[in-house]
Amino acid sequence: MLDRVQVPDGRAQRIGKLAAYDGLMLEATGFNQPIGAGARIITADGASARAEVVGFRGNRTLLMALDGDAPHASGARVEPFAGGNMADVGPGLLGRVVDALGAPLDGLGPIATVERWPLAGQQSNPLDRGRVTEPFDIGVRAVNALLTAGIGQRIAIIAGSGVGKSVLMGQMIAGADADVVVVGLIGERSREVSDFLATKLAGKIRQKSVVVAVPADHAPLLRLRAAMRATAIAEYFRAQGKKVLLLIDSLTRVAHAQREIGLSLGEPPTAKGYPPSALGLIPRLCERAGADTRSGGSITALYTVLADGDDTNDPIVDAARAIVDGHIILSRALGEQGVYPAIDVGRSLSRVMPDCVTPDHLAAAAMLRRLWSAYEENRDLILMGAYQPGGDATIDDAIARRQDILAFLKQAPGERIAFAESKAALIEGFGQ
């Protein structure tokens, strides 16, 4: 017979038993709980380990551990655990660092929260999503001038490893004109979490920031929940009418976590081993950002995407590029030349820029991009000396202005250049 326990309100709750465990997935009998429900498993040493329902197989419930390795034993009690699919939110989160379950990591004591928000977000009417028509000052000259971000835009920062994604994110955080900054550090090295807090969230910016951090050695479900929790916190502040900057570093690690979960559940691998759920997760997560016409608040989101082997046609890169409102591609070749941020102007794009800037700004940006593309398309001929000056006026101009363009793109990590200053410099240097 199945065990039952008495809960405080007098109702009986059914208790299941652990039937199988393969190191990642747990199977329980007699535990009829819905997808996303929380569970607590009593381990062999008398402690408890937390898990979440992720699927079913016949009359067995499939769970994934939240607490890492634990000494599970066959027949262990599996108890319901409420609140697994909700995030505690409130102004008390500002200035704090939490993990995927909302527990504080900064040693500053408990967090006073006032409300709860669904981790998976709230369904919204597409017509409540506002248009992106107002520029968002990001503090980086190349982005402000050539890839102007808008309030409520979703942007993917795409690059291989070690090309400067995190440094560019730090510049954007320091220079962003936002009421609240929410950062999700997901699947990165533990050292990078403390380094990010010390170098990129130092000073006054820390007081208006919330950080959700889950390093790479944590369970895949925790990495997935960290991205959902960071987005849920951003949604809460947007509902309060705030202008929120959301940064997820990195979206690829979130997709990797979903890949581990999907393959464990028996999903068929498709492109590069990613199951359908991993590719489907990206639009579900990214679509939660944007401007809200009801509250007047907005979430401007930046997602870093790791291009494995510098392959910008990777399935995750393609899926992210297709759903966001713009993408910034970082070039390893530029980084090797000492150009930072190493933004590949020709391959990067802001889809909302025409709606956010003036005609003279747009024309100057188009001129710089034209010169950039002319040089890149003829780079081999130019470097070999096969191109003869005077053959094409645009190429001649591109060669003459090359150093000016590279100087315009360069910016020191601690330097902030406002939108107005970026626009003026662009029009002065490359306007008609």
The string of pLDDT tens digits covering residues 221-260 is 899 999 999 999 999 999 999 999 999 988 999 999 999 9
Topology annotation, domain 361-430 = Substrate Binding Domain Of Dnak; Chain:A; Domain 2 (1.20.1270)
Instruction: Using the structure block, give the residue that is written with the tokens 């250049």.
Output: 417
* pLDDT, tens only, 331-386: 999 988 889 899 999 999 999 999 999 999 999 999 999 999 999 999 999 989 89
Determine the Cα–Cα distance for residues 317 and 238; give it in Å rounded to an integer. 27
8 A C-beta contact, residue 245 and residue 173 = yes
Ranges for all domains in the chain classified under CATH 2.40.10:
16-80
8 A C-beta contact, residue 430 and residue 407 = no
Determine the Cα–Cα distance for residues 298 and 303; give it in Å rounded to an integer. 16
Topology annotation, domain 86-357 = Rossmann fold (3.40.50)
Which two structure tokens, joined as six digits, stand for 206? 């820390």
CA nearest neighbour of 74 among 106, 28, 121: 28
CA nearest neighbour of 326 among 136, 121, 122: 136
* pLDDT classification of 323: cutoffs 50, 70, 90: very high
Ranges for all domains in the chain classified under CATH 3.40.50.12240:
86-357
pLDDT at 45: 79
- CATH class of the structural domain 16-80: mainly beta
Instruction: Using the structure block, give the residue that is written with the tokens 């709750």.
Output: 13
Length of the chain counted residue by residue: 432
CA nearest neighbour of 54 among 63, 45, 46: 63
* pLDDT classification of 1: cutoffs 50, 70, 90: very low
* pLDDT classification of 25: cutoffs 50, 70, 90: confident
CA nearest neighbour of 395 among 416, 384, 381: 381
Which residue blocks in 147-291 are alpha helix, DSSP H?
165-175, 190-199, 220-239, 251-264, 276-286
How many other C-beta atoms are found inside a 10 Å radius of the C-beta of residue 203? 7
Predicted TM-score (pTM) of this structure: 0.90
CA nearest neighbour of 146 among 326, 398, 338, 335: 326
Ranges for all domains in the chain classified under CATH 1.20.1270.330:
361-430
CA 9 to chain centre: 40
Q: How far is CA 169 from CA 9, 189, 297, in A?
A: 48, 16, 22
What's the mean pLDDT in 193-200?
86
pLDDT at 83: 63
* pLDDT above 70 as % of the chain: 96
8 A C-beta contact, residue 146 and residue 368 = yes
Report phi then psi at 381, rounded to 5. -65, -40
